[in-house]
Amino acid sequence: MTEAEISQWFFWLKVGMGLTAIFLIWLFYYIIEKMGIK
């Protein structure tokens, strides 16, 4: 792999982890809302 390919891979890895974190946080709050715990 070239340096450009590696940096691109790291970029998409960070994007993927960011989206996963946002999704998990949203899911956590959604479940709390559904259970009615405030």
pLDDT over 90 at 1, yes or no:
no
Rounded Cα distance between 24 and 27, Å, is: 5
Listing DSSP states for 1-38 in one string gives --HHHHHHHHHHHHHHHHHHHHHHHHHHHHHHHHHT--
Mean pLDDT for the stretch of residues 10-37: 96
Q: What is the pLDDT of residues 6-20, one digit of tens each?
A: 999 999 999 999 999
The total domain count for the chain is 1
Its pTM surpasses 0.75: no
Which domain does 19 fall in, by range?
Answer: 1-38
Which pLDDT score, from 0 to 100, does residue 3 have?
A: 95
**CA 18 → CA 1, 5, 24, distances in Å?**
24, 20, 10
Distance of CA 5 to the CA centre of its chain: 22
